[in-house]
């Protein structure tokens, strides 16, 4: 993985600490200290930190100039303050969003040493949330100005950049961003975050999600070469996501059956009547012309800000899961459009999930594969569960691979996987009744 953005409610932080690297990489530090998440944080010159740095009451670096940075005692109390600060921990970086630097203002940094698009690590604060940002050089590299804008769009009110490029790295439970340098570069210090161990209800049945497979039979939306149809993809995705959510104990309401093509208002009405906790409309995107285009990647539409609104919190949860799964992300992963009927007429937090562009050759090649659809569906469902506060229920223990069917069943197994009837996992595991129903439905036997 080359990029990961994590949004953490401040109320869920147990503690935070700056840990000296001592020759270790991010994932090694995380394993050694037992934290939930770690990222490199802070500039250094050789073995010496650059800028303001204080760890557990001990000042390690105090230049003769002041600046804005982050300070805290235990972690959940983190705030942007003028440094040096009396708090037990503080760190400075490039001032991206501070009381002195707003969106679009000139950012104070060495353009020769730190300019251009490159890997970045950043720390930001929004309303009651902490945002960690970690990306490598290459396609995920960003300019300082681009990083400022991206963090602002994620809901950041304050932010600092904390890496000069090349050494950006981080590690979490389901993700690992490795340094762009070869060999990988250990850094002077890391930010480690421990989360509160909150008990979650096992398979609660009190949450309802309304899934809306976009469009329907007869819709012409699809790839310019005719090899991909959006309505077919949307229906397949809805069944995959539905299976995941129901396994986790979520009640799923569908706006349509496979052959249906209700109006947009009718779709919103289904959600409203079910009193859904979340409305998710499943689609693929188009660049707006009849031919192939360059725009690609995953993005989500919601009606409007702020980023603290439930619809945008839910969208960020799904985007986080997509990023962790290695899904190709669009340039602006959350976009607002108050003209989409299903976004403004639905009472529940609502979003339109665009899983890629069917006008882009690279995206279409992925969207047509069972493996990529399985990845998209799982990440979507995991993000929904994160938003609803529901524990993810893994598949029953099995080999979890896309192979392993016995010789006598190998041919049929391959066909079922290619046709999207089976997801290609657990070939020798028993089938539950609800899984059987989904298989029969995908096979067209439940008309």
β-strand partners of 133:
5, 122
Non-local (6+) Cβ contacts of 196 within 8 A are: 12, 13, 14
Report pLDDT for 80.
96
- Specify the length of the chain in residues: 447
Rounded (to 5) percent helix, strand, coil in the chain: 25, 30, 45
Report pLDDT for 447.
66
Q: Starting from the edge strand earliest in sequence, which strands make up the sheet with 129-135, in order?
A: 3-9, 129-135, 120-126, 158-161, 94-97
> Where in the chain are the domains?
3-195, 208-388
Q: How far apart are CA 246 and CA 205, in angstroms?
A: 9
Summarize the confidence of residues 284-306 as an average pLDDT: 89
Non-local (6+) Cβ contacts of 23 within 8 A are: 186
Report the largest interatomic distance among the alpha carbons of the chain, rounded to a whole angstrom. 75
Summarize the confidence of residues 271-280 as an average pLDDT: 95
| Choice between 167 and 337, residue whose per-residue pLDDT is larger | 337
Q: How far apart are CA 242 and CA 235, in angstroms?
A: 10
Percent of the chain at pLDDT > 90 equals 54
Which DSSP string do the residues of 109-170 spell out, in sequence order? Answer: S-HHHH-SSB-EEEEEEETTEEEEEEE-SSTT-B-HHHHHHHHHHTT-SEEEE---SS---E
Residue 51, both tokens: 């800028």
β-strand partners of 244:
none
Average pLDDT in the chain = 87
Summarize the confidence of residues 439-443 as an average pLDDT: 75
Residue 431, both tokens: 């089938």
Q: How far apart are CA 280 and CA 349, in angstroms?
A: 9
Q: How far apart are CA 374 and CA 239, in angstroms?
A: 11
Which DSSP string do the residues of 266-328 spell out, in sequence order? Answer: HHHHHHHHHT-SEEEEEEEE--SSSS--S--SEEEEES---TTSHHHHHHHHHHHHHHHHTPP
How many secondary structure helices (H) and strands (E) does the chain include? 11, 23
Q: How far apart are CA 4 and CA 140, in angstroms?
A: 10
Residue 258: pLDDT above 60? yes
| 184, 169 contact by CB (below 8 A) | yes
pLDDT digits (tens, 9 = 90+) for 357-412: 999 999 999 999 999 999 999 999 999 999 988 888 876 544 444 445 777 777 78
Report pLDDT for 204.
42
Residue 199: pLDDT above 50? no
Q: How far apart are CA 266 and CA 394, in angstroms?
A: 34
Residue 148: pLDDT above 50? yes
pLDDT digits (tens, 9 = 90+) for 90-121: 999 999 999 999 999 999 988 888 888 888 89
Buried b (16+ CB within 10 A) or exposed e, 79-107: ebbebbbebebbbbbbbbbbeebeeeeeb
At the topology level, CATH places domain 208-388 in Aminopeptidase (3.40.630)
Residue 435: pLDDT above 80? no
Binning pLDDT at 50, 70 and 90, where does residue 181 land? low
pLDDT digits (tens, 9 = 90+) for 8-58: 999 899 999 999 988 888 889 998 999 999 999 888 876 788 889 999 999
Please tell me whether the overall predicted TM-score, pTM, comes out greater than 0.85 for this model: no
* Packed helices 310-325 and 370-388: angle between N→C axes, nearest 10 degrees: 140
Residue where the block lists tokens 């993810």: 392
């Amino acid at each position: 993985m080359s990029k990961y953005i994590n949004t953490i409610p401040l109320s869920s932080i147990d503690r935070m600490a700056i840990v000296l690297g001592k020759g270790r990489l991010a994932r090694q530090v995380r394993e050694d200290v037992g934290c939930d998440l770690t990222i490199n944080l802070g500039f250094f010159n050789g073995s010496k930190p650059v800028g303001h740095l204080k760890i557990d009451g001990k000042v390690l670096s105090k230049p003769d100039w002041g600046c804005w940075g982050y300070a805290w005692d235990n972690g959940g109390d983190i705030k942007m303050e003028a440094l040096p600060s009396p708090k037990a921990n503080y760190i400075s970086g490039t001032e991206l969003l501070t009381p002195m630097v707003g969106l679009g203002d000139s950012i104070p940094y060495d353009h020769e040493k730190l300019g251009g698009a490159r890997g970045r690590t950043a720390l930001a604060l929004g309303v009651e949330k902490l945002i960690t940002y970690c990306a490598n050089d290459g396609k995920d590299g960003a300019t300082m100005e681009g990083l400022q804008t991206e963090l602002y769009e994620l809901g950041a009110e304050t932010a600092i950049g904390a890496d000069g490029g090349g050494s950006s790295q981080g590690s979490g439970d389901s993700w690992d961003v490795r340094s762009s340098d070869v060999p990988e570069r250990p850094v002077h210090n890391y930010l480690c975050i421990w989360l509160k161990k909150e008990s979650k209800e096992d398979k609660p049945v009190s949450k309802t999600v309304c899934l809306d497979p976009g469009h329907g039979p007869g819709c012409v939306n699809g790839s310019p070469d005719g090899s991909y149809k959006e309505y077919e993809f949307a229906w397949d995705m809805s069944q995959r996501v539905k299976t995941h959510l129901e396994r986790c104990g979520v009640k799923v309401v569908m706006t349509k059956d496979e052959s249906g093509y209700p109006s947009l208002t009718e779709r919103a009405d289904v959600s409203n009547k079910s009193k859904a906790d979340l409305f998710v409309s499943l689609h693929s995107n188009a660049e707006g012309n009849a031919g192939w285009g360059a725009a690609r990647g995953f993005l989500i539409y919601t009606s409007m800000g702020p980023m603290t609104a439930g619809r945008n919190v839910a969208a960020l949860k799904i985007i986080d899961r997509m990023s962790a799964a290695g899904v190709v992300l669009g340039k602006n992963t959350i976009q607002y459009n108050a003209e989409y009927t299903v976004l403004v007429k639905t009472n529940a937090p609502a979003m339109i999930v665009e899983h890629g562009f069917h006008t882009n050759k690279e995206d279409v090649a992925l969207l047509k594969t069972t493996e990529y659809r399985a990845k998209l569906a799982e990440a979507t469902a995991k993000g929904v569960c994160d938003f609803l506060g529901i524990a993810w229920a893994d598949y029953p223990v099995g080999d979890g691979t896309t192979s392993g069917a016995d010789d006598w069943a190998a041919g049929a197994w391959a066909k079922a996987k290619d046709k999207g009837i089976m997801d290609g996992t657990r070939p020798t595991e028993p089938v539950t009744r609800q899984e059987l129903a989904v298989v029969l439905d995908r096979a067209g036997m439940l008309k």
